[in-house]
Amino acid sequence: MTLFYIIVAAFFFLSASVTFFRPSIIRKIMKLVIDKDLFFLPGILEIVLGLGTLYFRHSSKFKWFVYLAGFILFIDGIFYLISSKRLKETYKWFIEFKDRDMRIYAVFMLMISVGYLISGI
């Protein structure tokens, strides 16, 4: 089902766009996650994205990317659920990034978005 990959590509593209053009919004969201201790929400989202990526792998033409992205998202989601204390430190470190560094991260997310888009076409 290539529609799944296109939807995930759109999600990563929107996230990258917001991170690139408005890094302050990402910082606010991350501060909210820290304050409310909501690390399970990104963890569950990553597990769902990882399992969905692996589930629809047969309809993809970009199989190595699909396997790699699916496993990384799934494993990262598991880590989100079991090590929230370490994530709190990482989020605080990430919030202190300069805007230039956040834009570099946004370019990385844009590349992931392109990978998903190619997988869906």
119 pLDDT above the threshold of 90: no
pTM for this model (two decimals): 0.84
String of DSSP letters for the chain: -HHHHHHHHHHHHHHHHHHHH-HHHHHHHHHHHHHHT-THHHHHHHHHHHHHHHHTGGG-S-HHHHHHHHHHHHHHHHHHHH-HHHHHHHHHHHHT--HHHHHHHHHHHHHHHHHHHHHH-
Give tens-digit pLDDT for 1-52: 678 888 999 999 999 999 999 999 999 999 998 888 888 888 899 999 999 8
59 pLDDT above the threshold of 80: no
| Residue ranges covered by each domain of the chain | 2-120
Predicted local distance difference test score (pLDDT) of residue 20: 94
